[in-house]
Structure formats: C-alpha cells, structure tokens
C-alpha cells in the first residue's frame, strides 16, 4: 500500500514538473511580435540585416525637453525612409520611446513600412512589470534586449551555466512574453574563446532552458572588449563564434559590431559576421564617431543614413573617400553623389559652419565606413 502511495506521489510530482516546464507560453501579441522580429532579422536573399542602436538622451533643460519629441520623430523618419534600417535597438526612457514608436506605427501599410523597435536594458534588475506594461503600450515596441551574461565574457557552456541566474531570467522572460513582447538574450563571449560546433548547439539549448523552455526569437552575441582597446584598432570587435548549419533555421543570430566608422572597418565587420553565418548585425552606438561627447540626433540620423546606404551598396568597396568640410567652399565634399539629402540635412556640416566635431577625428576627416 505504501508503495502505491509513493508511486502516486511520484506520478503527481512528475505531472506538476511537466506542467511547470510548459507553463511559459506566448500571448497572442507576443506571437505577432515574434513574426515581425523574425522577418526583420532575416533577409529573403540571405544577406545580413542591419539594426543600428540609438541612445536617446535625456534633456537637461525645459526647452530641449519640449523639442525632444520633434527631434525623435524626425530621427525615426530618417532611419525608416533614408537609412532603411531593418530594425532599431533603442536605449532611452519611456517618454523618449513614445514618439519613436508613434512615427513607426503611423507608417504601417505604407512604403517604406515601420521597422520593429527593441528596447535595450543594461541590467536585468531594471525589468519590472510596471516598466514592461509601459513598453507594451508603446506602438512598435516588439522586443526587449536582456543581458544574460554581460558582466564577464563566457568561454564555454559550463561558464555560462555558472554565470547566469536561471530562476530570475526565466521569470523575466515569462513576464516579457506575457506583456506581448519578445525577450532577446545578449551573451558576452570572452575574447579569444573558441567554440566547437557541438558546444554552440549546447549553448543554444542552455539559453532555451534559461528562457523557461522556449526558444527566443533571436540571440545577440557580443565580443568582450579590453579596457585599453584603441578605437582605431584593426580588431573588428565581432563575436568569435560560428553558427552551425544544423541550427541556422532554429532562430535568428545577431552579432554586435562596435568598431568605430572609418577605413572600411564596418564593412569588414559585416563581412566577418556573414562568413560566420550570422543573420543580422547589431550596429552599436559606438560606431558613430564622437557620439558620447555630443549625441546630436540630427547628426546621428545623418550618419546612419549614410552608413547603412554604404553597407547595403553593391558598389565596390576597394576605395576610400573623404568626408572633410572645406571652409573655403560653399558645400562639403561629396560622400557619394547620390547622398545629397544627407548633406542637406546638416549632418555633415553646412555652408560656412565648418566641420562637425562629432564626425571629425583629430585629422579632420575619416575614410569610408
């Protein structure tokens, strides 16, 4: 009799365990978000899709606060119509995100259509139900970038398991799915680490378990950087991992690019990601020269319009060009003949204004993207 009772208890425990494992499900809105993000991260032609990062500053005075909505709306339009970004990773407050989402959603049904917005979170502790609800109420926000392990780079599946907090991350992912969005894990890879094919598959399985048993729509891989790394370094700052063909169709794989524009480095980084079977490139704000000193949204919009136009161009990249503004001329030297709209926007400087210091290194120019 006692044996039967023990077996019954064990059976109940097994059922409860299975129910718990299957308890994390996507809301209908989250399923739509998954489809939109999957389309954004994957190109039908197999080319790398491009997703710039925006850091929306918090105004320090009332006048700037009043103008922020207009500036963010203009930036959103530029990235959608001129840069033709595939998606946007955005770091900023809820108030800063609102006009961005509104502008993107207003383009639904038109061409170019809206691009999905992914909110970047620097700390998993910042993700709470109240903030997620506010994000979900903003049109166009489809995903949330969650740092799974970014404090220290991992070099194996074992180091990943030792680093993460399964319980907390599974709860956060469940809350994001419940709110109608998609969690997107970011994994920091140790510099110089080597990943065999079976190790990569095991890592993806481990990330799935961390999420609570569901595959995320995508995973962002970022390469760990040394504190003394030079901006002009030949290091492309791309993750040193190759995606096995056996899991290419399972989810989208996104690689971070942090190299500063110039000397064709961004083009080389994109080519490197493509050779490693990545689907998309996460172009960090670090690519914009001088963005930390002066995060002018007009300059940022003009830069990304020019950069993405160059990265998507089929023209030869075997030459460099100069972007220096000559004070004794009425217009800056052309980046490309077809990018007059970028110069007219003021992003590269205007007549008599001199060169914009945010886009000019010490030498007064930079070459290529």
Lowest mean pLDDT among 61-70, 172-181, 327-336: 327-336
Report pLDDT for 317: 52
Instruction: Let me know: does 179 contact 146? Beta carbons within 8 Å.
Output: no
- Average pLDDT of 194-213? 96
Top-confidence residue, 16 or 167 = 167
Top-confidence residue, 45 or 13 = 45
CATH code 3.20.20.70 for 23-312: yes
Give the chain's mean pLDDT.
Answer: 82
Using pLDDT thresholds of 50, 70 and 90, give the confidence band for residue 124: confident
Tell me which residue has tokens 């504190």: 227
246-290 confidence digits (pLDDT tens)? 999 999 999 999 998 988 999 999 999 999 999 999 999 999 988
Other Cβ atoms within 10 Å of 154 Cβ, number: 22
Top-confidence residue, 23 or 108 = 108
Number of helical H runs and strand E runs in the chain: 11, 8
Report pLDDT for 129: 87
253-264 confidence digits (pLDDT tens)? 999 999 989 889
- Average pLDDT of 316-334? 42
Instruction: Let me know: does 236 contact 274? Beta carbons within 8 Å.
Output: no
- Has residue 363 got a pLDDT over 60? no
Q: Is 127 exposed, middle or buried (0-12, 13-18, 19+ CB in 10 A)?
A: buried
Report pLDDT for 126: 83
Report pLDDT for 227: 63
Using pLDDT thresholds of 50, 70 and 90, give the confidence band for residue 36: very high
Domain ranges of the chain: 23-312
What would the two tokens of residue 48 be? 């790398």
What would the two tokens of residue 236 be? 């492309």
Other Cβ atoms within 10 Å of 360 Cβ, number: 19
Helix, strand, coil % in the chain, rounded to nearest 5: 45, 15, 45
What percent of the chain is predicted at pLDDT more than 90?
62
- Average pLDDT of 68-79? 96
- Has residue 106 got a pLDDT over 70? yes
Using pLDDT thresholds of 50, 70 and 90, give the confidence band for residue 152: confident
Distance CA 52, CA 256 (A): 10
Using pLDDT thresholds of 50, 70 and 90, give the confidence band for residue 329: very low
Lowest mean pLDDT among 5-9, 289-293, 335-339: 5-9
């Amino acid at each position: 009799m006692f044996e039967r009772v023990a077996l019954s208890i064990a059976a109940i425990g097994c059922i409860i365990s299975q129910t718990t494992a299957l308890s994390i499900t996507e809301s209908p809105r989250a399923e739509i978000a998954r489809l939109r993000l999957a389309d954004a991260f994957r190109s039908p032609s197999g080319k790398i899709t491009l997703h710039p990062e925006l850091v929306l500053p918090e105004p320090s005075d009332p006048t700037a606060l009043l103008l922020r909505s207009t500036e963010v709306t203009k930036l959103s339009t530029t990235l959608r119509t001129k840069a033709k970004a595939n998606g946007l990773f955005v770091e900023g407050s809820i108030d800063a995100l609102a006009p961005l989402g509104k502008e993107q959603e207003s383009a639904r049904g038109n061409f170019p259509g809206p691009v999905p917005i992914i909110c970047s979170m620097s700390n998993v502790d910042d993700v709470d139900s109240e903030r997620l609800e506010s994000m979900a109420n903003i049109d166009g926000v489809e995903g949330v970038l969650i740092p799974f392990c970014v404090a220290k780079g991992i070099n194996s599946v074992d180091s990943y398991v030792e680093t993460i907090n399964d319980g907390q991350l599974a709860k956060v992912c469940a809350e994001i799915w419940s709110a109608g969005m998609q969690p997107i894990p970011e994994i920091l890879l140790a510099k110089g680490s080597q990943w065999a094919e079976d190790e990569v598959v095991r890592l993806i399985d481990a990330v799935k378990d961390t999420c609570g048993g569901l595959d995320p729509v995508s995973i962002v891989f970022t390469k760990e950087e040394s504190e003394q790394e030079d901006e002009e370094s030949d290091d492309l700052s791309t993750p040193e991992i190759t995606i096995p063909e056996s899991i290419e169709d399972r989810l989208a794989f996104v690689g971070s690019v942090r190299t500063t524009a110039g000397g064709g480095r961004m083009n080389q980084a994109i080519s490197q990601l493509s050779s490693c079977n990545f689907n998309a490139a996460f172009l960090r704000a670090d690519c914009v020269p001088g963005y930390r000193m002066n995060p002018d949204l007009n300059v940022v919009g003009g830069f990304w319009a020019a950069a993405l136009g160059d990265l998507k161009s089929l023209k030869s990249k075997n030459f460099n060009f100069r972007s220096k503004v000559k004070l004794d001329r009425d217009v800056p030297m052309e980046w490309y003949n077809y990018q007059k709209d970028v110069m007219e926007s003021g992003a590269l400087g205007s007549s008599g204004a001199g060169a914009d210091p945010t886009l000019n290194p010490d030498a007064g120019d930079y070459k290529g993207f």
